[in-house]
Amino acid sequence: MLLNNTTVDSSFFPIFEGFYKQIYQLKEHYIKHQYDPILPKKQEWPVVRLARERKEFVKKVASQAEQRILDLIGKNPEILKEELETTLYREKLRIKQNPWDVDPDDEGPFWGEVKTNLLQIHASVSLSKTKKMEAYREVLQKITSRYSEEIASNFKASHYKFTRRVVTFGFSRLLNAARVKGFGSFFSNQYSLQDKIQITGQTTQIRELATKGTIVMVPTHFSNLDSILIGWIISVLGMPPFIYGAGLNLFNISIFAYFMNALGAYKVDRRKKNLMYLETLKTYSKEAIQFGCHSLFFPGGTRSRSGIIESKLKLGLLSTAIEAQRANFQNGIKEVSGKIFIVPVTINYHFVLEAPSLIQDYLSMTGQERYYKENDEFSTSYKISKFLFKFFTKGSDISVSIGQAMDVMGNYVDEEGNSLDKWGRIVDTQEYFMSNGKVTVDAQREEEYTQMLGRRIVEEFHKINRVFSSHLVAFVAFELIQAKNSKLDLFDLIRLPQEDLILDYQEFKSACQRVMHQILELKKQGKIDTAPHLSRTMDEIIAHGLENVGMYHAKRPLIQSPTGDLATEDMSLLYFYHNRLHGYGLEKLF
């Protein structure tokens, strides 16, 4: 049941408050929805059932991962030996060169024991090929068991409910402290988080499908805040908690570690690139989806370093949804209860706290994978607490756009869970996995399906991306500067002196109008979405964009001088925020 409530807030822009008040009341109101939980009893939550069976589930994951690895190497003892030695070498190197506080205390002794075991097997020249394989398998089993235990979530329903209350209460208090005047502002309930974090899109459909099958939510990823934000969104929509992969680096930070554990996160250690870890991680994801746990992972794999919406996805975890769907069909689960629904989500910010370090990292890359040590603005609990206070007491909004659900082949589905082709006809997803009249395993076929699904998710990201005024002004400013210096490459452009970075306001406004016109054309075609504040006049849109773009950074990506001209204090940051509109062909307007 929906309880509708219209809320108007006229204090986003203190400088222009009086001027904007009437316009904001007419154009910027939106409907907030309070959703009842679809599963009121926590005992019915899939993650609670998984937590009760955690010990057995971890054992199953370890065993299944071991089998996957053996299948991949063709059960060849020499190849297994090589993979074990490679894993040992990389883990020893990781412990020495890139240790984290969250790493277990027994890391050194464990891998020392693995080394001893491998040396003993190698020294036993009398061992037959079969015995040698058994010995290597014992070592493999120890490693997959350790990885499974490390990855597995520690969800506790009581912690989840407490965390949800803390997040909602704490953030709401900060929000009201900023927007309500007077001594009692901190205790006011005038504004809720839904005044700041606006949820749009296919909310009814995702709730309906969550009662029928298993949801795999795939959001864009720009900030370390995304995990907590999406967890809150899931709770507001009345859905049971999802499991999701969170970077192990976040567990270095005590405040994040508590939230991550409470919200059902399983741990993803991006330092570990060895086959055994990656296959164990994929197995965990596949088995959890098959178990019926709604799941969330960021298909970009990490935060967007450039600010561009992800166009090349990491397909490892995505492939587990396809594997789980095929396995359900193999197990005879043909009803909608066995279907897996892919739901793309875009998170839209006016500013990203980590933008300076992210864009510098992006600009430092030379096309090859570079050693990257996590050390950014979220490195301590104090820093993240300070940011949260600043963030929620600023007048800048977030919107989260829920896309239309798809099956694992990228076909849209209706609210009953039926897959639809491009003409709207119902199709049977199981047929995609059949050969000679039965469901079969075909690794090459499923790899192609994963790539197809990845491309569909990228398409949907661009369709449901919601343009903010800050995106518009940053895009136009960077493109104008680039057009005036067309012979320079990106790196020379970023080094331009300050006097070459001035833009005439009228020229800038005219360019904004051209781009805005094209954005509205794309919106008519269903290729992009826009925030409500873009229905204002262009002067008002520009003022709003300048107020919000990169508002937290010491050096602003775009400012207006007393004479009205525009300039940037940080060209690389301007490039980062400009990139949100990359991929729509808008560059051709300059």
Mean pLDDT of the chain: 85
* Choice between 523 and 41, residue whose per-residue pLDDT is larger: 523
> What's the rounded Cα separation, in Å, for the pair 298 and 318?
9
**pLDDT on residue 581:** 97
Residue 117 has pLDDT above 50, yes or no: yes
Q: What is the pTM of this model?
A: 0.85
Question: pLDDT at residue 268 above 50?
Answer: yes
* Pair type for strands 419-420 and 214-219: unpaired
Taking 90 as the threshold, does the pLDDT of residue 390 lie above it? no
Question: Does the structure show a pLDDT above 70 at 134?
Answer: yes
> Is the pLDDT higher at 383 or at 127?
127
Per mean pLDDT, which of 41-50, 175-184, 227-236, 281-290 is the most reliable? 281-290
To which H or E segment does residue 166 belong?
A: helix 157-179
Structure token pair of residue 338: 């066995």
- The 10s digit of each residue's pLDDT in 460-508 is 999 999 999 999 999 999 999 999 999 998 888 988 988 889 999 999 9
Share of the chain above pLDDT 70, in %: 82
Higher pLDDT, 498 or 433: 433
The arithmetic mean of pLDDT across residues 363-375, rounded, is 51
Query: What pLDDT does residue 412 have?
Result: 97
Give pLDDT, residue 388.
62
Beta bridge partners of 4: 33
List beta partners, residue 531.
none
- Give CA–CA dist 113/567, Å, rounded: 60
**Amino acid occupying residue 389:** F
Least confident segment among 39-53, 89-103, 172-186: 172-186
Low-confidence winner among 82-96, 547-561, 573-587 (lowest mean pLDDT): 547-561
What span, in angstroms and rounded, lies between the C-alpha atoms of 123 and 292? 46
CA atoms of 477 and 504, how far apart (whole Å): 10
Residue 292 has pLDDT above 60, yes or no: yes
Categorise residue 526: left if φ over 0, alpha if ψ from -120 to 50, beta otherwise: left
pLDDT band at 569 (very low <50, low <70, confident <90, very high): very high
Residues of the chain with pLDDT > 90: what percent? 59
* CA proximity to 310, closest of 219, 393, 388, 391: 219
pLDDT score recorded for residue 402: 96
Find the mean pLDDT for residues 219-223. 93
294 with 421: CB under 8 angstroms?
no
- Statement: residue 444 has pLDDT above 90: yes
> Which residue is associated with the tokens 């219209």?
6
Q: How far apart are CA 557 and CA 152, in angstroms?
A: 41
Q: Residue 27 corresponds to which tokens in the numbers above?
A: 């154009």
Q: In the prediction, which pLDDT does 370 show?
A: 39
> Helix 505-524 to helix 538-548 angle, to the nearest 10 degrees?
100
Band of residue 377 on the pLDDT scale cut at 50, 70, 90: low
Round to whole Å and give the CA distance between 446 and 433: 8
Distance of CA 12 to the CA centre of its chain: 27
What is the per-residue pLDDT for 85? 96
pLDDT of amino acid 32: 65
Lowest mean pLDDT across 24-38, 155-169, 439-453, 507-521 = 24-38
Query: Which of 299, 291, 204 minimizes the C-alpha distance to 245?
Result: 299
Give the pLDDT confidence score for residue 583 in this predicted structure: 94
Cβ atoms of 227 and 41 closer than 8 Å: no
Grade residue 25 by pLDDT with cuts at 50, 70 and 90. very low
| pLDDT attached to residue 535 | 94
Domains of the chain: 46-151 (no CATH), 196-464 (3.40.1130), 467-589 (no CATH)
* More confident of the two residues 259 and 339: 339
Write out pLDDT tens, residues 541-563.
999 999 999 887 889 999 998 88
SS3 475: helix
Q: What angle do CA 364, 365, 366 make, to 5 degrees?
A: 120
- Statement: residue 371 has pLDDT above 50: no
With cut-offs at 50, 70 and 90, classify the pLDDT of residue 176.
low
Q: Determine the Cα–Cα distance for residues 61 and 281; give it in Å rounded to an integer.
A: 9
